[in-house]
């Protein structure tokens, strides 16, 4: 049975995956320009055997609606609260990858009664200052038109951050694009909306982030990539991790195989599933 659902609300349709079951809930929040299928590697490795896994497409991404405004972290938190209300989930673990980690922290700060634990997947209170340069190779796909799916996939596989390939990546990239009747391929997500989300994120100053992270009073799991994203640079440095742990003392941190993207697949995904499974008991 397909896990795809859509919550229709005034002004926004929220698409989400819900793998069901009576296990403890776990919400996964994707990165800035990704979609819900970016976590397919975790599903292939059996995450849904340990949790009721719920993965929304954030507004402006994937199959969710594309409103012209409302891309602040505050609004993203409200969207998630609305989805949890719809699913009658009072409290959950929230795990966020990259941008999704900031969304998880913001949600935990704004709705502390709705959260039992937070997991940061290569996300922290601060990032490598080179991150805006490093992610350009990923974001540039949003501005292009491709003559075929094969061309798009070939360019993705040749991207400088793609240090390994895994078949579980295919659903993510298929969801990332629209294939038109003439075979041409365009991005599914709106680059304008994604840039709005990025602008809101970067407008939050360091002092505010310290307050947000310091307000997280539940168990915290930090998973960091073992390999550089590209050109020898990591998105998350040891200094970023240490700074976060100093602010959020209820943290435990582990390294998983892969870089900022590939850690969600293959051995990195298997390691992540096992660590989340053990974290579930700490957050119970």
Give the per-residue pLDDT at 25: 98
What value does the mean pLDDT take over residues 253-270?
97
Contact status, residue 152 vs residue 103, Cβ threshold 8 Å: no
Q: Is the residue at 184 inside a domain?
A: no
Q: Which range of residues forms the domain containing residue 104?
A: 4-131+191-282
- The tokens for 169 are 């990546």
- What's the sign of the alpha-carbon dihedral 121, 123, 125, 127? positive
Report how far residue 212's alpha carbon sits from residue 280's, in angstroms, rounded to the nearest whole number: 22
- Mean pLDDT within 62-86: 97
pLDDT at 132 over 90: no
Exposed/middle/buried for 181, CB within 10 Å: 0-12, 13-18, 19+?
Answer: exposed
Residue 31 in this model has a pLDDT that exceeds 90? yes
Considering the domain boundaries, does residue 146 fall inside one? no
From residue 168, give the alpha-carbon distance in Å to each of 137, 247, 265.
21, 35, 7
Residue 246 covered by a domain: yes
- Inside any domain, residue 154: no
Higher pLDDT, 139 or 148: 148
Chain mean pLDDT for the chain: 95
CA atoms within 13 A on the CB side of 202: 10
Is residue 262 predicted with pLDDT exceeding 70? Answer: yes
CATH number at residue 71: 3.40.50.1820
Print the SS3 string covering 22-76: CCCEEEEECCCCCCHHHHHHHHHCCHHHCCEEEEECCCCCCCCCCCCCCCCHHHH
Q: Is the pLDDT of residue 167 over 90?
A: yes
State whether residue 83 is helix, strand or coil: helix
Written as six digits, the tokens of 80 are 């998630």
| pLDDT score, position 150 | 96
Residue 174 falls inside a structural domain = no
Average pLDDT of the residues in 202-220: 95
Strands 115-121, 220-225: pairing is parallel
The count of structural domains within the chain is 1
Given this model, what pLDDT does residue 59 score? 96
Q: Which residue has the tokens 């990539």?
A: 225
140 occurs within a structural domain: no
What is the pTM assigned to this prediction? 0.96
Residues whose CB falls within 8 Å of the CB of residue 55, separated by 6 or more in sequence, listed in order: 16, 17, 27, 28, 30, 36, 39
> Does the residue 183 lie in any domain?
no
Task: Kindly state whether residue 269 falls inside one of the protein's structural domains.
Answer: yes
Any idea which of 25-34, 67-76, 134-143 has the lowest mean pLDDT?
A: 134-143
The answer for residues whose C-beta is within 8 angstroms of residue 94's C-beta and 6 or more apart is 26, 27, 29, 80, 104, 107, 108, 115, 117, 118, 119
What is the number of other CB atoms lying within 10 angstroms of the CB of residue 128? 19
- The 10 Å Cβ neighbour count of residue 107 is 29
pLDDT in tens, 171-198: 999 999 999 999 999 999 888 999 999 9
Per-residue pLDDT at 138: 81
Q: Which residue has the tokens 């240490």?
A: 242
- For residue range 82-106, what is the model confidence (pLDDT) as tens digits? 999 999 999 999 999 999 999 999 9
Top-confidence residue, 130 or 102: 102
CA distance 150 to 161: 19
The average pLDDT across 228-239 equals: 94
């Amino acid at each position: 049975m397909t896990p795809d659902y859509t919550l229709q609300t005034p002004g926004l349709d929220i698409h989400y995956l819900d793998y069901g079951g009576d296990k403890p809930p776990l919400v996964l929040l994707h990165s800035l320009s990704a979609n819900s299928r970016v976590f397919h590697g975790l599903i292939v490795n059996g995450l849904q055997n340990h949790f009721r896994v719920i993965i929304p497409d954030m507004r402006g991404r994937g199959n969710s609606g594309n409103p012209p405004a409302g891309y602040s972290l505050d609004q993203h938190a409200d969207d998630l609260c609305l989805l949890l209300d719809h699913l009658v989930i009072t409290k959950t673990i929230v795990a966020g990858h990259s941008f999704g980690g900031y969304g998880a922290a913001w949600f935990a700060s704004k709705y502390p009664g709705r959260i039992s634990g937070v997991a940061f997947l290569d996300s922290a209170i601060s990032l490598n200052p080179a991150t805006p340069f490093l992610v350009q190779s990923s974001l540039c796909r949003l501005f292009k038109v491709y003559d075929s799916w094969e061309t798009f996939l070939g360019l993705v596989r040749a991207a400088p951050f793609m240090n390994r390939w895994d078949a579980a990546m295919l659903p993510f990239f298929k969801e990332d694009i629209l294939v038109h009747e003439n075979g041409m391929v365009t991005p599914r997500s709106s680059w304008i909306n994604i840039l709005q989300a990025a602008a809101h994120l970067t407008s939050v100053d360091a002092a505010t982030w310290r307050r947000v992270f310091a307000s997280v009073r539940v168990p915290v799991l930090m998973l960091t990539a073992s390999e550089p994203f590209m050109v020898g640079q990591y998105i998350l440095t040891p200094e970023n991790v240490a700074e976060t742990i100093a602010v959020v003392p209820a943290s435990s941190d582990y390294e998983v195989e892969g870089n900022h993207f590939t850690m969600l697949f293959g051995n990195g995904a298997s390691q992540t599933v096992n660590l989340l499974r053990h974290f579930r008991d700490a957050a119970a």
